Amino acid sequence: MNLLKLLGWEVERATKPYLILITLLVVAQFAWLGFFLWSETNMYEEIRRTGTPDYVLTFANYLGGTPFILSIGVAVAAMVFFSFWIWYRDFQGRGTFMMRLLLMPQKRMIVFGAKLVTMMLMILGLFSVQWIALKLQYIAFSSWLDSQMIPVGGSFEQAIRFDGALSPMYPASFVNFLIHQVLIVLVILFIFAFVLIERSLWQRTLWSPIIAILMLGALIAVPVTAFFFLESRLFMDEMMVVVGLGLMGWMSVTVWLSRLYLTKKLSV
Amino acid sequence: MIEVLGVKKRYRKKQVIEEVSFTAQKGEITCLIGLNGTGKSTILKGIMGLTPFDQGTVLVDGKPIDLNRVAFVPDHSTFPIHFTIEQCEAFMRDFYPKFDPKLFARLVDEFKLFPEDKLNELSKGTLAKVNLALGIAQDPDYLLLDEPFSGIDVFSKEQIVELFSSDIMEDRGVLITTHEIEDIEYLVDKAVMLNRGRIVREFDVEDVRFIHGKSIVDVMREEYGA
């Protein structure tokens, strides 16, 4: 119950920057679509005047454009940034809100849980908005080109499948969706663990971010190195099990580390 | 009773607190006294687990600290500055099970606060009153106050001092740090004097006053050579 209440507070505090991000993302993509269609139509008309165009446009041409890739990159960077900021904003200034959160007569891990769920809600929300926006962009793309009698090749699904950046948003199966979500959660957990270690050490040493990076670097490097040694000796099925165990191990250790630092060592 | 037993704290190369032990009784006002940088705030934060001690134990009535029974009022607001007093109260009601809205309303009334005011629009004195009201409304057995009079005007100071002698504070244990000791001297039951992270003197204020005819400030002069 308290987790839900705190989640409500966290979501409310994140709403404004989140809505700004979504608006910018959608506006930038539609602006790019407009420009793309305008320039492609002009070019097609130009070629049609002198001969017969020997190519067809696909939705993948639009998706492969730098502005579109950039908009996705900005959204990803914003989410990574917000994974840090969701903690660091509570340490900002003298009147640190983190102090109020730590003084709550509740388990400190609800703070962690609320921030983690907020991040996941934001990411899944972004996926949903992008999914709807992309469908609308495809409708606009194909209907405009149809109206101009410019041939369109390939389907929406084909264009998406060949775009690596969009694959987490449009997974081929439910299992793929789960794997993508686990990987996203893992990235967030590593960021959270970094912040909590760094904030626990900052009053003791100026090297706190470096120490935090080294600790988490070792946590990542040791299993990865072990995996490279084992890889050639494993069958595919065994390798899947090892990878699965590795991911679960990383998740457990990052949560354990975060809990340790949040409950016993964090300093405000 | 709050028992602070053999606590130590080091920041980088500096030992800020060197094996400090003292007690603060329920129903009494205990004052932690010391010059700037002697570790008073660090001790309060350490008791609340906000800056964990490197060593030592803190017990409240013989048990590890229970945040339902002990409240901390720092010398600054702990809410985002764009929050209104109403929003702060809503947060406290949601997450502090013992928070008493009626007591808070009474304090808001006594301090003449306006719930719709934003924290960043308040003077330092008014902000101190908001902090204190939010702390007391948690209805704690023990209240830890860090420099509640720091930088506030004389009338706000008077209002806060009056509160200490009112029924609202009855039966609560108060552990307070302050530079403005003369303002609350007559209210303090016990003084714990710190110097360079060590306790240099711990005494019953009334005893010193009646037996030796000295005030806390006199004892401070002796100890700090000021």
Say whether domain B2-224 belongs to CATH 3.40.1500.10.
Answer: no
Share of chain A above pLDDT 70, in %: 99
Residues in chain A: 268
Q: Which of A6, A13, A105 sits opposite B67 (nearest CB)?
A: A105
Separation of CA A232 from chain center: 32
* Choice among A63-67, A91-95, B184-188 with the minimum mean pLDDT: A91-95
* CA count, 13 A, side-chain hemisphere, A41: 15
| CA-CA-CA-CA dihedral for A169, A174, A176, A178, to nearest 10 | 90
- Paired residues of B23 in beta bridges: B3
- Global pTM reads 0.91
Whole-number pLDDT of residue A264: 93
> Which residue of chain B comes nearest to A103, CA vs CA?
B67
Please tell me what DSSP assigns to residue A166. Answer: G
Residue B198: closest CA among B12, B38, B44: B38
Residues in contact with A135: Cβ distance below 8 Å, sequence separation at least 6, in sequence order? A156
Q: What is the pLDDT of residues A179-212, one digit of tens each?
A: 999 999 999 999 999 999 999 998 778 889 999 9
Greatest Cα pair distance in chain B: 51
Whole-number pLDDT of residue A143: 93
Separation of CA A206 from chain center: 30
Whole-number pLDDT of residue B226: 61
**Subunit contact B98:A105, Cβ cutoff 8 A:** yes
pLDDT tens digits in sequence order for chain B, 226 residues long: 999 999 999 988 889 999 999 999 999 999 999 888 889 999 999 999 999 999 999 999 999 999 999 999 998 899 998 899 999 999 999 999 999 999 999 999 999 999 999 999 999 889 999 999 999 999 999 999 999 888 788 888 888 888 888 888 888 999 999 877 888 888 899 999 998 889 999 999 999 988 888 888 888 888 887 6
Both tokens of A64, joined, read: 């492969």
- Paired residues of B11 in beta bridges: B14
Residues in contact with A73: Cβ distance below 8 Å, sequence separation at least 6, in sequence order? none
Phi/psi zone of residue A29: left (φ > 0), alpha (ψ -120 to 50 degrees), beta?
alpha
Contacts 24+ apart (CB under 8 A), A79-85: A79/A119, A79/A122, A79/A123, A79/A126, A80/A187, A80/A191, A82/A14, A82/A17, A82/A119, A82/A122, A83/A119, A83/A187, A83/A188, A83/A191, A83/A192, A84/A191, A84/A195
**Subunit contact B78:A2, Cβ cutoff 8 A:** no
Phi, psi of A11 (to 5 degrees): -60, -40
Interface test with A, best of B11, B41, B77, B78 (most A CBs within 10 A): B78
B176: helix, strand or coil: strand
**Subunit contact A105:B49, Cβ cutoff 8 A:** no
Interface test with B, best of A7, A15, A90, A100 (most B CBs within 10 A): A100
> Which residue of chain A comes nearest to B53, CA vs CA?
A265
Q: What is the pLDDT of residues A6-49, one digit of tens each?
A: 999 999 999 999 999 999 999 999 999 999 999 999 988 888 88
Both tokens of B207, joined, read: 């005893």
B90 close contact with A: CB closer than 8 A = no
Confidence category of residue A94, pLDDT binned at 50, 70, 90: low
Paired sense of beta strands B190-195 and B198-204, if any: antiparallel
Whole-number pLDDT of residue A95: 59
**Subunit contact B67:A96, Cβ cutoff 8 A:** no
Domain definitions of chain A by residue range:
1-170, 172-268
A217: helix, strand or coil: helix
Residue B79: closest CA among B127, B44, B136, B145: B127
Domain definitions of chain B by residue range:
2-224
> Which residue of chain B comes nearest to A5, CA vs CA?
B94
Q: Nearest-CA distance from B96 to chain A in Å?
A: 6
Give the pLDDT mean for A80-87: 96
Residue B29: closest CA among B133, B149, B143: B143
**Subunit contact A267:B52, Cβ cutoff 8 A:** yes
Phi/psi zone of residue B63: left (φ > 0), alpha (ψ -120 to 50 degrees), beta?
beta
